[in-house]
């Protein structure tokens, strides 16, 4: 299964699996990103926030090579995504998993068949039995009951669809997981369960997670750091306490508005209630220079 892990990426900076430098994107003259830079650390859950239409999804699409930028350089796991691509790009795509905003399951395929799509694409030599077994395992790993494997997307609830999308994103044992609004449209209990699942997967599988969200509870519960997209750039990256210390109006409004305060008090209560356990993420980090 390791034949897609090429030697040529062994000398990259392993501590920073995603590095975006000087990114510029525009559509019909409308500039979305201008000189945007962002570095993601290995093993972290990085939350990405910003107003609607600020270009969060376009940033994610740029990082996974679906959007060709006007300028800038993006390096993922040592591979230059923005360089001219050739057949090698199959290597890098097998090392990340993506849950798109809206899910994007194939409606004519069952959940298990959806999970098998990337397996078939990247490992065509797998026997049918083994492929089915891996798909069933990923379905269970994503917190779905075994029966869900045979269901079609139209037969699933919103939360189950998200989990099915996650199962497909995990099909190839990725090192990087990209999630675009994974808890949007879920009820609060479903959203919290999804957050716990992502946190557990990060812990057990050592994933690095790029997580676009509007959900303040998610930011407090599972994100190690948060990147703020505004003014066409990433204006700040840090833990939530670090961001709270900045006086940018959008950041203050977002984290110190009524919803932000409510989410923070829940985050702090979680920390206080678990004195002997790891604290809610982002509540106990010290500022670090240079990023
Ligand atoms: N393929 C495209 N063609 C033209 N314009 C696009 C395209 N994709 C995105 N845009 C524009 O780029 C801007 C950023 O879009 P994007 O989807 O990244 O926003 P977002 O931050 O993800 O917003 P939301 O929080 O609503 O999901 C928007 O103005 C959008 O209309
Ligand atoms: Mg979006």
pLDDT in tens, 106-120: 999 999 999 999 999
pLDDT of residue 88: 58
- State in Å: Cα 242 to ligand 2 middle: 25
Find all residues with CB under 8 Å of 226, minimum gap 6, and list them. Answer: 46, 47, 48, 49, 219, 237, 238, 239, 240, 243, 282
pLDDT of residue 257: 83
Question: Which of 23, 32, 102, 230 has most ligand 1 atoms within 8 Å of CB, for mutation?
Answer: 32
Ligand 1 atom 6 nearest Cα: 27
pLDDT of residue 281: 52
Q: Which residue has the tokens 């599972």?
A: 222
Which atom in ligand 1 lies closest to the alpha carbon of residue 50? Answer: 21
- Measured in residues, the chain has a length of 291
pLDDT of residue 177: 97
pLDDT of residue 3: 40
pLDDT of residue 164: 95
pLDDT of residue 89: 59
pLDDT of residue 265: 78
pLDDT of residue 264: 78
pLDDT of residue 272: 56
Which atom in ligand 1 lies closest to the alpha carbon of residue 212? Answer: 22
DSSP tag of 269: H
Which ranges of the chain have pLDDT less than 50? 1-10, 274-280, 282-291
- The two counts, helices (H) then strands (E), for the chain are 10, 10
pLDDT tens-digit series, residues 29-71: 999 999 999 999 999 999 999 999 999 999 999 999 999 999 9
pLDDT of residue 182: 93
Ligand 1 atom 5 nearest Cα: 27
């Amino acid at each position: 299964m390791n034949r897609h892990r090429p030697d040529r990426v062994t000398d990259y900076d392993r501590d920073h699996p995603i590095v975006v430098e000087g990114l510029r994107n525009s559509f019909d003259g409308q500039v979305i990103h201008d000189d945007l830079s962002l570095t993601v650390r290995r093993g972290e859950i990085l939350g990405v926030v910003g107003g609607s239409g600020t270009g969060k999804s376009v940033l994610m699409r740029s990082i996974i090579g679906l959007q060709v930028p006007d300028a800038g350089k993006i390096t993922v796991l040592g591979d230059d995504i923005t360089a001219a691509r050739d057949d090698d790009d199959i290597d890098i795509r097998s090392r990340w998993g993506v849950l798109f905003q809206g899910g994007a399951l194939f409606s004519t395929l069952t959940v298990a068949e959806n999970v098998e799509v990337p397996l078939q694409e990247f490992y065509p030599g797998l026997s049918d039995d083994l492929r089915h077994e891996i798909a069933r395992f990923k379905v269970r790993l994503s917190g779905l009951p075994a029966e869900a494997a045979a269901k079609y997307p139209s037969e699933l609830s919103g939360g189950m669809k998200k989990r099915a999308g996650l199962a497909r994103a995990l099909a190839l044992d990725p090192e990087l997981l990209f999630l675009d609004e994974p808890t949007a449209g879920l009820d609060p209990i479903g959203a919290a369960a999804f957050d716990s699942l992502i946190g557990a997967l990060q812990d057990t599988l050592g994933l690095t997670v790029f997580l676009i969200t509007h959900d303040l509870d998610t930011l407090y519960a599972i994100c190690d750091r948060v990147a703020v997209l505004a003014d066409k750039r990433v204006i700040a990256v840090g833990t939530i306490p670090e961001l709270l210390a900045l006086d940018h109006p959008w950041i203050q409004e977002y984290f110190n508005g009524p919803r932000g305060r409510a989410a923070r008090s829940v985050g702090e209560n979680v920390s206080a209630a678990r004195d002997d356990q790891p604290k809610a993420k982002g509540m106990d980090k010290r500022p670090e220079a240079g990023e």
